[in-house]
Amino acid sequence: MWGNKSKRGANVDIQTLVGPGTQVTGDIEFAGGCHVDGEVVGNIRATGATPATLSISEAGRVEGCVSAAFIVLNGTVQGDVRAAERVELGATAKVVGNVHYRLIEMAIGAEINGKLVHESDQPALLEHDASATRSSRPDTVGTIAGVAKDA
């Protein structure tokens, strides 16, 4: 729908549309689905109790941060991208900023000029695993990718 070729985004009900040739200056808050074919100078943020989807087409451009549960990006974002659930970067996607994600799909050709930051839903479990690794090998100074350096 609306030029979105994503399999997962095909059933999204788009309630907010920034059409081609349109420029919005200021922040946008939306619920449900939002599609950007034009230009937004400001932040775009999903609100509401239900997970929202933001899609930005090849012609879409955002100068600001974007945040939603599901993000399908084929255009350009100059700012951080925060997907609470999933981000899909198409072949023409360009991000100048960090990408925060729980699950990511990236096509060949997608460009990120920033950091990929995985948002884990169980950070305490990761800390527990790291301490278990240290206690099981008390004779090591450090472990990098399974290679131990003895003290």
- Taking only the tens place, the pLDDT of each residue in 73-107 is 999 999 999 999 999 999 999 999 999 999 999 99
Pair (101, 149) in one structural domain: no
Question: pLDDT at position 49, please?
Answer: 86
pLDDT at residue 11, rounded to an integer = 65
Query: Which of 69, 101, 76 is CA-nearest to residue 90?
Result: 76
Residue 130: what pLDDT?
Answer: 44
pLDDT in the model for residue 7: 47
Query: Considering the domain boundaries, does residue 7 fall inside one?
Result: no
Structure confidence at residue 122 (pLDDT): 52
Q: Compute the chain's Rg from CA coordinates.
A: 19
Residue 84 located in a structural domain: yes
Spatial contact of 83 and 9, defined as CB atoms under 8 Å apart: no
DSSP H helical segments within 2-137, as ranges? 123-136
Q: Domain count of the chain?
A: 2
Residues in the chain, pLDDT under 50: 1-9, 123-149, 151
Q: Which amino acid is at 92?
A: T
Q: Strand pairing partners for 115? A: none
- Cβ distance 108 to 126 under 8 Å? no
Show the domain range for 57.
16-119
Whether 24 maps to a domain, the answer reads yes
Instruction: Please say whether the dihedral angle defined by the alpha carbons of residues 26, 1, 50 and 125, taken in this order, is positive or negative.
Output: negative
74 in a structural domain: yes
Give domain status of residue 106, yes or no.
yes
- The residue type of 7 is K
Of 64, 74, 69, residue with least CA distance to 97: 64
